[in-house]
Copies of this chain bind each other. A is one copy, B any other.
Amino acid sequence: MPIFSQPEPRDDWPHVVLVGGGFAGLLCARGLARTRVRVTMLDRRNHHLFQPLLYQVATGGLSPANIAAPLRALLASQKNTRVLLREVTGFDLENRRVHCDGHEDLEYDYLMVATGAGQSYFGRDDWARFAPGLKTLDDATRIRRKVLLSYERAEQSDDPAEIEALTTFVVVGAGPTGVELAGALAEMAAGTLKGEFRSVATERSRVLLVEGRDRVLPPFSEDLSRTALRDLEKLGVEVRTGTMVKEIGDGVLELAPTGNGDTDPERLRAGTVLWAAGVEASPLGGILAEQSDAGLTRPGKIEVGADCSLAGRPEVFVCGDLASFHQDGEELPGLAPVAMQQGRYVARLIGRRILGKATEKPFRYVDKGSMAVIGRRLAVCDIRGLEFRGAIAWILWLFVHLMYLAEFQNRVLVLIQWGWNYVTRGRSARLITDEPGSQRSEPTGGG
């Protein structure tokens, strides 16, 4: 960024408040670097997270710091931007105010809300305890601990049934995250951990991937779905499509064929159940809907207009997973590139409005392709209709993800870590760290 072209910010410049430092928020902030506005970025976490690689932290391949960077560091060189670690609790759109937890309201001239989505358990929030989802770094280290502890407990058991249960891993949902998690768990069992245990044959672990619809990776073509299925089975993953989860408890779950409620469900013991099935937009969407003419879709997304703004509130924008944006009659998927392009668009639009220029053209998402990795040299890519499989797709996946990580200083480190992991089949970040509320037995109890 050419810092020299940034003028010294002035107090009378319009104030843009960005809520959420994900892809949309970060790209919007960067897009406003040389605009005559004051920008305030609010986030309840201090880091921007490269969510697409979260599954690699959950399976011990990368460290949290490899895929996250302090927002403050990413935006340090933008003189007109400040970052505040704050939880936003609501808005007063009429008076253009943002309510923050434990702080005074912030006034804005323009507001962009992009707080993303969390897991949805389709009304069964009680399952969250037994089947954690993967949305934050803390989720990832929690899953890593759960998976590693299962093996540790299995190693100490004499009961074959218990060992089998502890080494059974179920991933619910066969979208990209579910597929990537299941593939990584299978590779970990058969490769990384092999030979490290004395009474557990980790390569005999069961990894199940459960999907309600009739194929894995439903957003991809049927052909790529079939490839992904074959690749998963090659890695030893048991794929159960057309299968619904009926019940989840502590170490058990019940499965039944989709749409056939009468069948006796299959009961399964599984030490680890991971949830990658549904998302639910951030609760801030509901608050925005109450104060505007915008509607709310079922998973809590808020409908936005062609310029990503709220109906009746042209100065309020919603982007990324929280927004329901329709293009050619279809809702855009909750993907990082959508959020990035929307964030950049809103920055451009605000810049034009400030200068009194004609309004920007409607937002249009350019789909550069989608990809999912299954394992070592196994991936599927769909790049504008061109389909790739196997090693070529995997190399494309690596390349694209490293390019995206360009925003971070640590691209080189990730590349080297991956190279190392590839050669050694190792996952060095296999650490079991503190469980909230866990026993601590240092002489003095710690801090």
Stretch at the interface among A26-34, A178-186, A275-283, A381-389: A275-283
Which residues of chain A (51-70) have a CB below 8 Å from chain B?
63-66, 68-70
Q: Which residues of A are at the interface with B, using a C-beta cutoff of 8 A?
A: 44-47, 63-66, 68-70, 72-73, 76-77, 82-87, 103, 117-121, 125, 128-133, 135-139, 141-143, 148-149, 152, 155-156, 195-199, 275, 280-283, 300, 408-410, 412-413, 416-417, 420, 424, 426, 428-447
Cβ–Cβ < 8 Å partners of A128 in chain B: 444-447
How distant is the Cα of A125 from the Cα of B440 in the complex, in angstroms? 14
With known contacts A65-B63, A156-B103, A420-B409, A280–B132 Cβ distance under 8 A = no
Cβ–Cβ < 8 Å partners of A45 in chain B: 432
How distant is the Cα of A63 from the Cα of B196 in the complex, in angstroms? 24
Closest residue of chain B to A434 (Cβ to Cβ) is: B138
From A121, A196, A410, A420, name the one whose CB has the most chain B CB atoms within 10 angstroms: A196
Residue contacts A-B, CB under 8 angstroms, 16 given:
A46-B432, A65-B431, A70-B430, A73-B426, A82-B155, A86-B156, A87-B439, A118-B446, A119-B442, A119-B443, A133-B447, A136-B442, A138-B434, A280-B443, A408-B428, A412-B420
Verify B444–A125 contact, CB threshold 8 A: yes
Verify B444–A133 contact, CB threshold 8 A: yes
Verify B412–A416 contact, CB threshold 8 A: yes
Least CB distance from A157 to B in Å reads 10
Cβ–Cβ < 8 Å partners of A131 in chain B: 447
How distant is the Cα of A435 from the Cα of B443 in the complex, in angstroms? 21
With known contacts A63-B64, A68-B431, A84-B156, A426–B413 Cβ distance under 8 A = no
Which one, B152, B156, B428, B440, contacts A65 given CB within 8 A?
B428
Closest residue of chain B to A153 (Cβ to Cβ) is: B85
Which one, B73, B129, B281, B444, contacts A430 given CB within 8 A?
B73
Verify A447–B132 contact, CB threshold 8 A: yes
Which one, B87, B195, B409, contacts A426 given CB within 8 A?
B409
How distant is the Cα of A438 from the Cα of B85 in the complex, in angstroms? 15
Verify A430–B46 contact, CB threshold 8 A: yes
Verify B85–A139 contact, CB threshold 8 A: no
Least CB distance from A124 to B in Å reads 9
How distant is the Cα of A26 from the Cα of B84 in the complex, in angstroms? 44
The list of the 9 closest CB pairs from A to B, nearest first, reads A132-B447, A118-B442, A436-B436, A65-B429, A138-B434, A63-B63, A82-B198, A85-B152, A118-B443
Which one, B137, B283, B408, B439, contacts A443 given CB within 8 A?
B283
Cβ–Cβ < 8 Å partners of A413 in chain B: 413, 416-417, 420, 428
With known contacts A63-B64, A416-B413, A432-B46, A72–B196 Cβ distance under 8 A = yes
Which one, B44, B137, B438, contacts A433 given CB within 8 A?
B137
Which one, B47, B426, B437, B444, contacts A437 given CB within 8 A?
B437
Least CB distance from A106 to B in Å reads 11
Least CB distance from A203 to B in Å reads 14
Verify A85–B444 contact, CB threshold 8 A: no
With known contacts A197-B72, A424-B409, A433-B64, A132–B446 Cβ distance under 8 A = yes
Verify A444–B121 contact, CB threshold 8 A: yes
Least CB distance from A170 to B in Å reads 14
Least CB distance from A422 to B in Å reads 13
How distant is the Cα of A442 from the Cα of B133 in the complex, in angstroms? 11
Least CB distance from A24 to B in Å reads 18
Least CB distance from A134 to B in Å reads 9
Query: With contacts A73-B426, A118-B442, A121-B444 known, what are 13 further pairs, Cβ within 8 A?
Result: A46-B430, A64-B429, A65-B429, A77-B195, A83-B196, A84-B155, A118-B444, A135-B442, A137-B434, A283-B441, A434-B436, A435-B436, A436-B438
Verify A138–B73 contact, CB threshold 8 A: no
Cβ–Cβ < 8 Å partners of A428 in chain B: 65, 69-70, 73, 408-410, 413
